Amino acid sequence: MIPLPVDEIVGRYKAGESTYGLGHAYGVSNMTIRERLKTAGVKMRPASPMALVLPSGEIAARYKAGESTPDLAKVYGVDASTIQKRLRAAGVKVRSAGAQLGSRHASKPGGPLHADRNGYLQSITRDRKHCYVARACYEAYRGAIPAGHDIHHVNGNILDNAIENLACMPHEAHSQLPGRSTVDGI
């Protein structure tokens, strides 16, 4: 179970925040928030009236122009699944997760991110090779990575590829860090 400040969440929910907004604030799904609130004995409010009066035509037009369902969900204050349901109801074919406009297959260059067996994010380059997102981010901001060097996630979160969280270090030093193994250097 993910540790969350339940008392704080209950207070914010009772003050009027939505489960979606709270989920976004704490980095979990709105269903996780709903479960914690129910466990705390909080009576759940009915769905937001905003979710019932979404401008489907406008959403469909923005989606067709290239916006993603998660981005549209943030704009309209609902869950991405609500946006997908509205798009399907409007007869719009919903793209698969990570697929970009104009690509016939999600595995083409610029396709979705995926995690390798150790949990590191990868993507596909224009020349159809797999690349680690952390290495690509580092090289984009700081230049080439010397041979025999790994990219270290400073805060320990291998999904956080912000440049300030990435450090280049020799493989030998990186593999000696606590909790590291020789296979998870990228």
Written as one string, the DSSP assignment of 108-140 is STT---EE-TTS-EEEE-TTS-EEEHHHHHHHH
Residue 127 shares a structural domain with residue 166? yes
Identify whether 68 is part of a domain: yes
Residue 121 shares a structural domain with residue 180? yes
Residue 15 shares a structural domain with residue 60? no
Identify whether 158 is part of a domain: yes
List per-block mean pLDDT (blocks of 10 residues) for the chain, which spans 186 residues: 83 83 82 90 73 75 85 79 86 72 42 73 78 89 92 87 91 82 49
Count the domains in the chain.
3
Provide the residue range defining the domain that includes 77: 49-89
Adjacent-strand bridge partners of 114: 122
Identify whether 104 is part of a domain: no
Residue 125 shares a structural domain with residue 176? yes
Q: Helix, strand, or coil here: 167?
A: strand
Which residues have C-beta within 8 Å of that of residue 44, sequence separation ≥ 6? Answer: 34, 37, 38
CA gap 166, 158 in Å, rounded:
10
What was the pLDDT predicted at 97?
A: 62
Q: Helix, strand, or coil here: 152?
A: strand
Identify whether 94 is part of a domain: no
What is the reported pTM?
Answer: 0.41
Identify whether 14 is part of a domain: yes
**61 φ, ψ (degrees, to nearest 5):** -65, -45
